[in-house]
Amino acid sequence: MSTVTTLSEPTTLPIARAINEGLRAAMAADDRVLLMGEDIGPLGGVFRVTDKLQADFGSARVLDTPLAEAGIVGSAIGLAMRGYRPVCEIQFEGFIFPAFNQIVTQLAKLTNRHDGAISMPVVIRVPYGGHIGAVEHHQESPEAYFAHTPGLRVVAPSTPNDAYWMIQQAIQSPDPVLFFEPKAKYWQKGEVDPTTPLARLHETRIARTGTDCTVVGHGAMVTTLLQAAEVAQSEGTSLEVVDLRSLSPIDYAPLIASVRKTGRLVVAQEAQGGVSLGSEIAATVTEHAFTALQSPVLRVSGYDVPFPPAHLEGLYLPDADRVLEAVDRTLKY
């Protein structure tokens, strides 16, 4: 076990630093935890999420890899077979597709293929989403590809405290976990309490209670929903904000209970709307809470086009105004 100093008292941190501290705690607790990725060593990654970890744990545990995502994930699969717990960083979400075959045809299926005789404790960290004014392949939301794949767990924290705990819980999982990090919120600060986790890895959380309409999202979208709830409150409408946290599996019970209370639901996501997580959520809630719904479930999403150039991202990405417009429509039924 490492003697590196880890977080011991509640403190205020941005999400990027919270993930860094979570990785540090996981590596200090278990020598089998390795980090792999492009420029994650002395540089600390392009977003500095792995800052100083190579200095603390050495180059044998924090590995700068070639620019070869398929090689990164393939190597992690081999390491997992030998008892290690590798954590891979994909530099930007659009770069994950060279590793897509390794993830969906090997990593996701090896445990089932061997009838449970081996586990695949591999975490793949993926900065995702828009709002950073970047170029093509740097602002996408590919979560649904992986949530659609049996054998993969998919999660997305929205707060520093969740980021700190969920990365450790993901590393402890015996199954492969896609860990989607809302990069637009990397520097959003919040309290991190290292003494005890508030929830398990796959638990949905009620981020704000309300009575008139439920709004649900994940990652960076939760901040947008909370902003919409503030505006709605000033106009006399009470929104209940639900943070999914986990995209596969989805913990539906708190969401369905919320919809049974409010009678209405708006699902929001940055990803395109067609054949999406939002579609699945809308269908499932309609199936299980149909008699409680007072209006159709509405979706707010990115448009069904490739992510646009940076100067148009404000038109593409859902904001509080688009969420509130959907809320107004559902309240009119």
Question: Given this model, what pLDDT does residue 1 score?
Answer: 52
Task: Give yes or no for residue 28 having a pLDDT over 70.
Answer: yes
| 3-class SS string, the chain | CCCCCCCCCCEEEEHHHHHHHHHHHHHHHCCCEEEEECCCCCCCCCCCCCCCHHHHHCCCCEEECCCCHHHHHHHHHHHHHCCCEEEEECCCHHHCHHHHHHHHHHHCCHHHHCCCCCCCCCEEEEEECCCCCCCCCCCCCCHHHHHCCCCCEEECCCCHHHHHHHHHHHHHCCCCEEEEEEHHHCCCEEEECCCCCCCCCCCCEEEECCCCEEEEECCHHHHHHHHHHHHHHHCCCCEEEEECCEEECCCHHHHHHHHHHHCCEEEEEEEECCCCHHHHHHHHHHHHHHHHCCCCCEEEEECCCCCCCHHHHHHHCCCHHHHHHHHHHHHCC
Please compute the mean of the pLDDT values over residues 101-114 and round it to a whole number.
Answer: 97
pLDDT digits over 305-330, tens only?
999 888 899 899 999 999 999 999 99
Question: Given this model, what pLDDT does residue 266 score?
Answer: 98
Percent of the chain with pLDDT over 70: 99
CA-wise closest residue to 310 among 132, 156, 155: 132
Q: Is the dihedral of CA 192, 194, 196, 197 positive or negative?
A: positive
Chain centre to alpha carbon of residue 87: 15
Q: Among 138, 148, 288, 311, which one carries the catalytic annotation? A: 138
Percent of the chain with pLDDT over 90: 91
Please compute the mean of the pLDDT values over residues 246-257 and round it to a whole number.
Answer: 98
First-to-last CA distance in the chain?
59
Residues 6+ apart with CB under 8 A from 29: 1
User: Is 138 marked active-site?
Assistant: yes
CA-wise closest residue to 317 among 156, 168, 133: 133
pLDDT digits over 152-201, tens only?
999 999 999 999 999 999 999 999 999 999 999 999 999 999 998 889 99
Domains annotated on the chain, with CATH? 12-192 (3.40.50.970), 205-331 (3.40.50.920)
**Maximal CA-CA distance, the chain:** 60
pLDDT band at 136 (very low <50, low <70, confident <90, very high): confident
The values of phi and psi at residue 189, to 5°, are: -95, 155
Q: What is the pTM of this model?
A: 0.96
